[in-house]
Structures are given as C-alpha cells and as structure tokens.
Amino acid sequence: MAEALPAGKGSRSTANTICRYRPWFCIVVAALASATWEDILTQQITHSELEKAVQQSPRKWVYLFSEGNAKMRDLLGGKGAGVAEMTNAGLPVPPGFTITTEACNAYYEAGKRFPQGMWEQTLAALKIVEQQTGKGFGKRDNPLLVSVRSGAKFSMPGMMDTVLNLGINDETVKGLVALTGDERFAYDAYRRFIQMFSKIVLDTDPKDFEQVLDHYKEHAGVKTDAEIPAAELKKLVVEFKQIAERQSGEPFPTDVYQQLHKAIEAVFSSWNNKRAIDYRNFNKIDHKLGTAVNVQSMVFGNMGNDSGTGVAFTRDPGTGEKQLYGEYLLNAQGEDVVAGIRTPSKISRLQEDLPQVYQQFQQIAHRLEQHYRDMQDLEFTVEKGRLYMLQTRSGKRSAQAGIKVLVDMVAEGLITEQEAVKRADTTQVYQLLLPRFDENEKKLAASEGRLLAKGLNASPGAASGKAVFDADRAEEMGKAGIPVVLVRPETSPDDVHGMLVARGILTARGGATSHAAVVARGLGLPCVAGCEGIRVSEAEHLFRVVGSDFVLREGDDISIDGATGEVFAGIIKTVEADYEKETELKKLLGWADQHRRLGVWANADYPRDAKRAVTFGAEGIGLCRTEHMFMEQERLPIVQKMILAKSQEERQEALDQLLPFQRSDFKGIFEAMVNPKTGEGYPVVIRLIDPPLHEFLPSYEELLVDVTRLETSGENAEELQEKRKLLDEVGSMREMNPMLGLRGCRLGLLFPEINIMQTRAILEAALEVAKEGKKIHPKIMIPLVGHVNELKEVRRQLEAVAKEITSEGNAEVAYKFGTMIELPRAALTADQIAPVAEFFSFGTNDLTQTTFGFSRDDAEGKFLLKYVDGLTEPGIEGKVKILPVNPFQTLDRDGVGQLVRMAVEKGRQANPHLELGICGEHGGDPDSVEFFHMVGLDYVSCSPYRVPVARLAAAQAALTTSERDK
Ligand code: ADP
Ligand code: MG
Ligand code: MG
C-alpha cells in the first residue's frame, strides 16, 4: 500500500499525505472502515458524487467539460469555455474538467490556499474522467495521465503555465510500457514530465536539464530527442529526478495526487508571475480576472509517425485569406510546435502525410468557424491516426487580416454589416494606415547587397532601428526612446518585456505560429520569424549571415519587413499607406458612416494635411492652428520683429508683412476643403493665435550662454551688444507659468493689431476663394476664454474688421464666430458665453491640464505615468494605481467629462443653435469618442491619421449605446 501510494515528503506519514491530497478517501475510509485501499480505489464515483462534493462546498468550483459552454468565459476562462463548447458540439476532445477563475481568486483571497471544497470537487471530477477514459489515475494498469493547463478569460499566449503528462511515476510508467509496448515512448513522456514539472512547479532552472539532455544525445550520437534509445532514457529519468531534488531541496513527488495538487497551485500562481503581469498591463487586461485550470486526459502525439501535434488558423492571420494556415510536427508532443525547437511542416502537407486526418480537421475547422462566426485558432493532436481537438479560440490577426476577415464574413453571410462594424478593432484600423517601406528604397538596398536574408512574414509592418540581442537591453534602450529591433534565436515568454518596447522582432528559428509571431501579431508589431539565413550568437551580441562574411552587431541599423519577411542592413525610408487601395477598409468605414451620428472632422494646419484628412473621410477642419504658420523660416524673423516691436507702428509694419503670408495659407486650406466636383466646401475652423509669444523667440538660456561666451572672449563687441539687448527683451517676456500666462485670447486683447491682421487674412482669403465660385464656410475661433467679457471684446474687434472688408470689397463674407471651451471657468459659465458664440469647441488638452492642475509638459515625465503604472509602496504587494489611464489620452469622464457635459447643457439652453465639437487629442480616442457621442456633441475633430478610427469609433458608440438603452 505504502508503495503504491508513497508519501510526498519524507517527514509526513503516508496516511497524512493521502488525506491531504485525497480527503474523500478518508471520508470513505471512515464510512467503510472494513474496506481495503484497493476496494476504495475501485469505488465508482459518479456524477452524483461530484454533486455531493459541490453541495458540501460554499460554491461549485469545478465544471466537467460537458457542463460548460462558450458563454462561460468569465468563469471557465477562454480555453475552458472553448473545450466545453467543442465537447458539447460532439467534437473529439479528450475528457476533462475546469477549475474556475473564481477558485483562483478565492485561492488568493485565502492567502494562497485552495478554497473549501475545491480539492474534493477536483477529485470527484477526476473520478468521472477515469470512467470516461476507462483509465485509472496513478494506477499501474492502464494509467491515466493528464495535462494541467492554465486559461484566463482573455488569451495570453504563452504567458502562463501548462504541465503535460502528469500522473506518471516509477510505477505508472511501467503500465504505460505494458499498454503501448513502447518503452521509448513511455520514458520519453516521463522525462518530459519531470522537466516540465520541475520548471513550472518546482521553479528550478531548466538549463541543467537541457545540458544533461544534450549530453545524452551526444553520447547516443543522435540529433533529436526522439532518437534517444529507451535504455538511455531510463537513466536520464533517474538523473532528471536527482537534478530536481537537488535544485528544489525535496524529493521529486511520486504521489500522483500530490503532483496534481502542486500543479494546480502552480497554475494559480502563474497568474501573478512577472511576465503575465507585464502582459496584462500592456494589454489593459484586468488583474482581478484570475485564471482557470483545465485538467484534461492526455492524448499523445509522440507515438510514432501516425501521430503528431499542430496548430492552425481557419484563415491566414497575416492576410485574412480564406484557407487553413498552420503547422504541425509528426511524432511530437505538445509545445514542440510553438516552442520552435524543430521547424514544422505547413498544414497543407498533412494532406499527404495523414489524408484522412486532414480531411476531418478541415471539416472541424469549417464547423467551428461557422459556429463561432469568427476566425479560429486551433490546437490539435493526432494519436495513432485519431484526431483530437485541444483548443479553439478566436485567432489573433494582423490589421490587414482583421479587416479583411470581417468584410469577407459579411459577404459570406456569416455576420451582418453592423456586426462587422461593432467587431472591428480601432487599433488595427489605425495600424493599417501607418507608413510602409518605400519599394524603390528596398530595391536600391537589395542592389547594394543590403538584403541580408528572408524569413517568414509573421506579422506585417515596417520596422527600422538598432539591432539588440537581448530583451533587457531592448527594454533599456526602448525606454530611452531609441528605436530598437529585437533579434533573438527564438523568443520565449521571458522576452516579452523587450518585445513590448521594440519596433519589430526578428527570430532565426520558429514558424509562423511560434511564440514571437503570435505575440507580435497581438501587439501589432512587425515580425520576421524563422529566418534561417542568419545565425544569431547571443553571447557575442551579433548575427552572421549564412553564406557570406556579413556580421550585424548590436547597435547596428537594421530594417525588417514583416509583410514580406525581408531583412535589410541599414535604415529604409517609409512611405504613406495608400488609402485608396484599401478597398476592404473603405467598405467597412462606409458601413460605419451609415451608423454614426457624430460628425468626424480633422485638425490640420496645412493644405497637405487637410487634403489627407479629406481622403480619410474628414467632413471639416475642426482646428487649424495659425501659429505653425508663424514658425516657418522666412516668416519667423518678421514674427519676432512683431513681438519685440517698441511701438504700435513698428508692430503694424511687421503685421502688414505677415498678412499676405497668412492670406495665402488660409486660401490653401479653404481650397483643399472644397469638393472639386460640387464646388461645395467643408467647414474650416481657424483658431487665432494661442501660444505664449516667447515660444517664437530664441531661448533665454541659449542667449545667456552666448552672452557669457562673448563677454569672456571679448571678441565681437557689436554682436555682444545685440545679444544683450535681445536677452533683455526675451527676459522681460519670461513667465513663471507660461501655460497660464499671456497667451490665448489675452494676446489679442492686449495687442488688437494681431487679431485684426489674422481676421483680415481669413476673410480676404475666403472672399478670394468665393469669387472662384466655391462655397466656403470659415469659422473663427477664440482660444482660452475664461470670462464672457473677453469674448465680447474680441467679437467687437472682429465685426469691425468684417465691416471694413465688406465696404472695401463690396462683398460680404459669411463667417461664424465661436470659442474654445478649455478652462473650467468657461465650462462653468457656458450659459453666459453661449449667447456670444455660434459654436463651442472643447479644447480637452488644456481643459484636462487646468482641471487636474497638471502641466502636461512636466506631468507625464515627472509623475503622471507612474500614477498610471502604479506606485510601489513598502509593505504592499503589487502596485498602487492612482489613475486608471492617462487622462491626456482618454478623457477623464468623472472630472473633465463632467465639465464638458455641463457646458453642453448650459450652452445649448442659452443658445439652441450652438454647434458643439471637440478638437483636443481625445477626438481620436475611441473611449473618449463614445463619451462625446453620449453627451451629444455634433462632431469630433482629430489628427488626419485618426479620422478613420474616429469614424469607426463613432459608429461603434452609436451602435452599442443604442443597444444599452434598449
Ligand atoms: P498555451 O496556453 O500556452 O497554449 P496549452 O494549455 O494550450 O498552453 O498547452 C500547450 C500545448 O500542450 C497544447 O498546444 C497541446 O499541444 C498540449 N496539450 C495540452 N493538453 C494536452 C492534452 N490533454 N493532450 C495532449 N496534448 C496536450
Ligand atoms: Mg494552447
Ligand atoms: Mg488650448
């Protein structure tokens, strides 16, 4: 008895161990005092036994696969819900059960102890699996082996831990030999188990095992693990156990229940390992969700050449093409494919290797896709010609594939247009329009011999930067703002922190479903994988190009094209994406336009930006900043003269010189915003000068250095005098808090000539364009108004100019007059301001600054990002988060949002015709767009590249909020 059920720890008695890991044994023992252990082991535990265990617990912690379904992702995790759904659909899934995410959370709440009743339910469920498989856990005859798999609500590929072949020990391995007649297989399974269990559960260093394994391969004169003879494997197992014992300080657990207990604990713990936390932080996944644990009977892909294991997508995750896409390895187990240890075969080859299996797999793939109405990512294993499904989940895909799959599925009648709009990923829409490598530059680079190699096009996009060969270094450099491309032999979950900051990823080994590829696609990072033309030396921090002398070292420039798999030395120039050619995206956005209420305008300062915005679908310019026009080289000296003018005449003279420049700028913008076919123009909101004037002057500090230098050298007296004068003038304009200083409408009130010149330029430009028969709608916007009197006075100035122009040109120009709402006082007194304005535009950047009292220029660098990332406090586990998100990126609904809502309500009440928009950076942020939709703004205005995102986000807001109201 003691032999069959050995104690886990030397000091603890056998009975104690049994009771710890098998309390139901003890309960049954008490009931059947006369029964032997063998009797008890053969007790039939049925479904009612599980029900009983549940009744005796505060909650149901364990669900058989047959008890779950796809809707239970919160409770069972994605993997658990997926296998449950497949089980119930009658697909071949090895039997098993899921321990809930609630159990994981209860485990943490109880100070890392299993919640009451969970272990009993686990054992009852395990009994049922024994019945279903006809095998016995820990039994020498026909032993049941299981996998213990993590699985959270949202897939976190490779982030948490899975143990395979659990239930193997010196006894059961003999049963496995007897059953299969394959000693090599049985001991290979055993050594894999020890290796995996040690790494994941006992937390030992995997390197020691790999070294010994390599040593055995060398000794046996073979290349792969699969070729090591059985006799050698037996010795290897003994040695592996010794390593595990030496490293962990306790005997390797031979009690299968103890193995199970520890493995479940390890999966719970893996929820809070560093890489999982990093991944969740980056992907904004809630840390409180917890992971489920799936315990599933094992099937074996390593039982010969009629066995194998693989992963496949129902469509190409890079392009979206409708065809099976994936890889498999014959005679291999579990993670061999994903780990990139051997380079696997393309899934289409399975047609030749195992034609019947391929056909069945194809049918299942199709069925699952129809069932889930989404592209699926599948894991399967073939045991002696029989196919088993191990996982299904919606597949991660590139931006291009993401959009194409949706549009195709609408055409196939699988989903509706509305659903496609709701499901589309705003981040992917943004990525799709990002720059790509210039084809000519690529050709040039190739002709110069800079095309080094070609790997798999694992995740599209263009990335250039400094090559870096380890994740820590990449993190360091990336955080310092240096663009890096992470180059690795292959990646593992330990590299994720480096991948997060990299521009792109290059690996020498591993397929299109390797860790690097999957993570990169999820992050939207360009990735070239399995680039066998390079040999990476981690130790030397370089790679060599096969068949040439070329060596690329750490810090050298490198460019990778994730869409083609090409790897270049040096930097390659990028070009704009061609929106006109993105037919699928255009179709999707066309559907979005039918559902949105919000208008989408763009912020554009130059005709070029305005034109791009129109191509991307902008319906107006919500913010044209006039100060950028002042910064241009030929104008800046005139602007400086204007600022430093000693008299009004001097200032006027400079302004007179600026007028024609401004007029032609505005004309350009107006013309860009006229539809050439209809002559109809979109609205253009032009904001009068906003920033503090010293932004146009040389820096005070630099001038000070110059003056000091000239003083000590005593060389150029004339220059010194000039610089001193300038230093004085610039000094006199310095402010302690320029963001709260002489800027915005305050400038035009103190120097009315500036407002007059700008208004004249705008209206004259408008008249000129109107004379060409084009209909244009200029709107003049006043920044930083806090008191209605400021706006009243500016309005008076403007009306006077308009009158002048009308009488000069004998033509009237229609324009609208409005203000930004970007100070809390303006929002609070919106009812007083609204009668003086025809429109409001919320300047949410300044409004966020002034509501929080954060200076944006300093806050992000000094403390804000730490507020969002979390602070480390002594004595507190984890990080203390002060803010959920950066309020400059996503509008703070509770604070800033309340001011917006108030201004909307008060403003509309006082002036029913008031037009309302927003032109801060939040106009392109999907979450903020939803808020703007809800408070009833008329339009959002964002940077041209974000216009497609805003169109989609506005439609999603309309669709989801109308659903919520139902
Ligand atoms: P991950 O979340 O990292 O993909 P999984 O739990 O899916 O981890 O397990 C990794 C691999 O282990 C799977 O792809 C599968 O090939 C293998 N595996 C898991 N459970 C079983 C099982 N019951 N039988 C055979 N192989 C399994
Ligand atoms: Mg998996
Ligand atoms: Mg502002």
What whole-number distance in Å separates Cα of residue 50 and Cα of residue 965? 41
Mutate to test the pocket of ligand 1, among 76, 97, 98, 149 (most ligand atoms within 8 A of CB): 149
Structure tokens at 860: 């992000």
Whole-number Å distance between alpha carbons of 782 and 818: 6
Q: Whose CA is nearest to atom 18 of ligand 1?
A: 334
| Cα 372 → chain centroid | 23
Which three-class secondary structure state does DSSP give residue 163? strand
Q: With H, G, I as helix, E, B as strand and everything else as coil, classify residue 583.
A: helix
Closest Cα to atom 1 of ligand 1: 158
Residue nearest to atom 9 of ligand 1 (CA): 162
* Joined tokens for residue 479: 């955080």
Establish how many alpha carbons lie within 13 A of residue 351's alpha carbon, considering only the half-sphere containing its beta carbon: 8
The residue whose CA has the least distance to atom 3 of ligand 1 is 158
In the set 104, 527, 531, 919, the catalytic residue is 919
SS (H, E, C) 134-147: CCEECCCCCEECEE
| Rounded Cα distance, 470 and 541, in Å | 8
Bridge-based pairing of strands 839-842 and 816-821 is parallel
Mutate to test the pocket of ligand 1, among 97, 147, 296, 297 (most ligand atoms within 8 A of CB): 147
Q: Whose CA is nearest to atom 27 of ligand 1?
A: 334
* pLDDT at res. 746: 97
Atom of ligand 1 nearest to the CA of 297: 23
Q: For ligand 1, atom 8, name the residue with the nearest CA.
A: 162
Helix ranges (H only) for 844-925 are: 844-852, 856-859, 865-869, 896-910
From ligand 3's centre to the CA of 959, what distance in Å? 31
Residues in the chain: 966
Q: How far apart are CA 457 and CA 965, in angstroms?
A: 44
Separation of 565 CA from ligand 2 center, angstroms? 25
Q: Is 616 exposed, middle or buried (0-12, 13-18, 19+ CB in 10 A)?
A: buried
Return the amino acid letter for 284: K
Tokens of 918: 């927003």
Distance CA 324, CA 756 (A): 66
**DSSP β-ladder status, 504-507 and 484-488:** parallel
- Taking every pair of Cα atoms in the chain, the longest distance, rounded to a whole number of angstroms, is 115
Torsion of CA 868, 873, 876, 881, to 10 degrees: -10
Give residue 789 CA to ligand 1 midpoint distance, Å: 70
Q: Please, are residues 840 and 804 in contact by the beta-carbon 8 Å criterion?
A: no
- CA geometry: angle 397, 400, 402, nearest 5 deg: 45
Cα distances (Å, whole numbers) of residue 930 to 344, 424, 546: 45, 15, 52
Of the residues 261, 497, 515, 595, only one is catalytic, namely 515
Give the number of the atom of ligand 1 that is nearest the alpha carbon of residue 146. Answer: 23
Distance CA 436, CA 257 (A): 55
Are the C-beta atoms of residues 640 and 697 closer than 8 Å to each other?
Answer: yes
SS3 682: strand
Q: From the CA of 516, how far away is ligand 1's center (Å)?
A: 18
531 is catalytic: no
CA 20-22-26 angle, 5° bins: 90
Instruction: State the ligand closest to the CA atom of 159.
Output: 1
204-to-157, 199, 261 alpha-carbon distances in Å:
22, 5, 18
What are the angstrom distances between the C-alpha of 576 and each of 328, 457, 562, 921? 37, 20, 16, 21
Q: Which is it for strands 386-394 and 376-383: parallel, antiparallel or unpaired?
A: antiparallel
Ligand nearest to the CA of 129: 1
How far does residue 390's CA lie from ligand 1's centre (Å)? 7
Q: Which residue's alpha carbon is nearest to atom 14 within ligand 1?
A: 334
Confidence at residue 32, expressed as pLDDT on a 0 to 100 scale: 36
Closest ligand 1 atom to 162 CA: 6
The residue among 376, 399, 365, 507 whose CA lies nearest residue 78 is 376
pLDDT at 30: 38
* CA distance linking residue 561 with residue 932, whole number of Å: 38
| 955: exposed, middle or buried (Cβ count in 10 Å: 0-12, 13-18, 19+) | buried
End-to-end Cα separation, the chain, in angstroms: 64
Residues with CB under 6 A from ligand 1: 94, 147, 149, 158, 162, 164, 296, 298-299, 309, 334-335, 379, 381, 390-391
Q: How far is the CA of 392 from the centre of ligand 1 (A)?
A: 11
689-743 confidence digits (pLDDT tens) = 999 888 888 889 889 999 999 999 888 889 999 899 999 999 988 998 888 999 9
Task: Indicate the DSSP class of residue 233.
Answer: H
Query: Is residue 84 a contact partner of residue 76, using CB atoms and an 8 Å limit?
Result: yes
Tell me which residue has its CA closest to atom 13 in ligand 1: 334
Q: Which residues of the chain have pLDDT under 50?
A: 1-45
Element (H, E) at 266: helix 256-270
Residues 6+ apart with CB under 8 A from 819: 781, 782, 783, 785, 791, 826, 833, 836, 837, 839, 840, 841
Within 8 A by CB and 6+ apart from 490, the residues are 339, 340, 507, 508, 509, 510, 514, 515, 516
Distance 747 CA to ligand 3 centre (A): 14
CB 838 within 8 A of CB 915: yes
Q: CA separation (Å) from 714 to 278, 688, 711, 722, 728?
A: 58, 44, 5, 14, 19
Q: Whose CA is nearest to atom 16 of ligand 1?
A: 334
Among the listed residues 696, 791, 804, 707, the one whose alpha carbon sits nearest the alpha carbon of residue 746: 791
Burial class (CB in 10 A: 0-12, 13-18, 19+), 847: buried
Closest to 454 measured CA to CA, from 506, 416, 389, 504:
506
DSSP type of residue 112: S
Question: Residue 25 has what pLDDT?
Answer: 39
Atom of ligand 1 nearest to the CA of 159: 3
Question: What's the helix, strand, coil split of the chain in %, to 5?
Answer: 50, 15, 35
Provide the β-strand partners of residue 392: 378
In the structure, ligand 3 is a single-atom ion and the residues with CB under 5 Å from it are: 822, 843, 846
CA distance 792 to 837: 9
Cβ neighbours of residue 589 under 8 Å, at least 6 residues apart?
429, 617, 948, 951, 952
The answer to whether residues 256 and 166 touch, using CB atoms and an 8 Å cutoff, is yes
Residue 19 burial (C-beta neighbours within 10 Å; 0-12, 13-18, 19+)? middle
Report CA Rg, the chain.
Answer: 34
Q: Which residues contact 123 (CB under 8 A, 6 or more apart)?
A: 22, 23, 24, 45, 53, 257
Ligand 2 center to 162 CA (angstroms): 9
Rounded distance, CA 724 to CA 125, Å? 86
For residue 80, give the ligand nearest its CA. Answer: 1
Best mutation site among 164, 273, 337 for ligand 1, i.e. most ligand atoms within 8 A of its Cβ? 164
Name the CA dihedral angle for 240, 245, 248, 253, rounded to a multiple of 10 degrees: 90
Q: Clarify whether 777 is annotated catalytic.
A: no
E-only strand ranges, 546-656: 551-553, 557-561, 566-569, 574-575, 599-603, 621-625
For residue 464, which of 483, 486, 445, 492 has the smallest C-alpha distance? 483
Q: Which amino acid is at 123?
A: L
Q: What is the pLDDT of residue 232?
A: 93
Name the amino acid, one letter, at 681: G
| pLDDT for the residue numbered 350 | 97
What pairs with residue 557 in β-bridges?
466
Q: Which ligand is nearest to the CA of 77?
A: 1
* pLDDT at residue 655 in the model: 96
Q: Probe ligand 1: pick from 162, 260, 291, 294, max atoms within 8 Å of CB?
A: 162
Atom of ligand 1 nearest to the CA of 391: 7
CA distance to 441, 550, 551, 566, 580, per residue, from 450 (Å): 11, 10, 12, 10, 31
Taking only the tens place, the pLDDT of each residue in 149-188 is 999 998 887 777 889 999 999 999 999 999 889 999 999 9
Which ligand is nearest the CA of 156, by number? 1
- Closest Cα to atom 26 of ligand 1: 334
User: What is residue 252's DSSP assignment?
Assistant: P
Tokens 């930097």 belong to which residue?
571
Nearest to 122 by CA among 5, 260, 259, 8: 260
For residue 391, the CA-to-ligand 2 centroid distance in Å is 6
Helix H or strand E encompassing 764: helix 752-771
Q: Give me ligand 1 centre to Cα 388, in Å.
A: 11
